Amino acid sequence: MSQSTNEAVVMTGGVSAEPGMRVYNQKLGMWVFLASEVMFFTGLIGAYIILRFGTDAWALPGIPLEEGGTPLAIQLTALNTFLLICSSVTMVKAFAAIEHGDQKGLRLFLVLTVLLGATFVGVQVFEYIQLAHEGFLPRCAEELAAVVPNCNLFGSTFYTMTGFHGTHVSIGVLCLIWVTVKAFRGAYSRENHGGVEVVGLYWHFVDLVWIILFTIVYLI
């Protein structure tokens, strides 16, 4: 072991880490990936701003649909946002549990996180089905296009942004299922739980992105 590596081990309380960053590789890799994801979603938001501010009118919350209101079910999505926030707290509690070697707590909170995440995806699919049934699509039904300002543009941006986020959530749920299965097999311990932390970082990021998207797409 080189001198610089030795120094890094000492600086992290006995945990081996990259000499430069003093963070283990998987965690550093996840943070770099998340940094790239920030730019990905910023690109989507930038495109949304261009398309929205380039038009003269947009569907707004708080007014009836016939007067140019939004066809989106804000209360339902607010509930879904609450579910995702709850899944973030169960995820961080799972991490806190295994930090203390609490296997039972880890498994319980991971299962809860998977259930909450899957419910979020389920509610989003339900929302899509309802909206499609009402004619709100990237190409809106004629009767809806007559009352919703720039309905096709609104629909396109809505499905693009929420669709990409929903894909991220779905991938996150699959990763969480994998981590949960490993947890039930006893793969994690107080000394070795990097997998829980790395997947947790991804999950919290998905929550963070939704917090921004919910405000931009649904409330503004």
Partner 1 sequence: MSSTEDSPMTSAETKKPNYYLIWFLLFVLTMVEVGLAYVSALPRNFLILILLALALWKATLVAMYYMHLKYERLRLILVATAPIPLAIILVLGILLEYAQ
**Interacting residues toward partner 1 by CB under 8 A:** 12-17, 20-28, 31-32, 34-36, 38-39, 42-43, 45-46, 49-50, 53-54, 61-63, 74-75, 78, 81-82, 85-86, 88-89, 91-93, 96, 99, 191-197, 200-201, 204-205, 207-208, 211-212, 214-216, 218-220
- At closest approach, how far in Å is the CB of 161 from partner 1? 14
Query: Cα(153)–Cα(169) distance, rounded to whole angstroms?
Result: 24
Nearer to partner 1, 12 or 130 (CB): 12
- At closest approach, how far in Å is the CB of 50 from partner 1? 6
- At closest approach, how far in Å is the CB of 139 from partner 1? 26
- At closest approach, how far in Å is the CB of 165 from partner 1? 14
Q: Residue 4: CB partners within 8 Å, gap ≥ 6? A: 19
How far apart are the two ends of the chain, measured CA to CA in Å? 55
What angle, rounded to 10 degrees, do the helices at 151-184 and 74-99 form?
Answer: 20
Nearer to partner 1, 142 or 191 (CB): 191
Q: Residue 97: CB partners within 8 Å, gap ≥ 6? A: 103, 104, 105, 106, 108, 109
Nearer to partner 1, 12 or 135 (CB): 12
- Report the C-alpha dihedral over residues 202, 204, 206, 210, rounded to 10 degrees: -170
Nearer to partner 1, 19 or 135 (CB): 19
Nearer to partner 1, 34 or 147 (CB): 34
Nearer to partner 1, 89 or 137 (CB): 89
- At closest approach, how far in Å is the CB of 63 from partner 1? 7
**Nearest Cα residue to 210 out of 147, 178, 162:** 162
User: Token digits for 200?
Assistant: 């947790």
Amino acid at the residue 128: Y
* Under 8 Å between Cβ of 37 and 45: no
- At closest approach, how far in Å is the CB of 208 from partner 1? 5
User: Token digits for 202?
Assistant: 């991804």
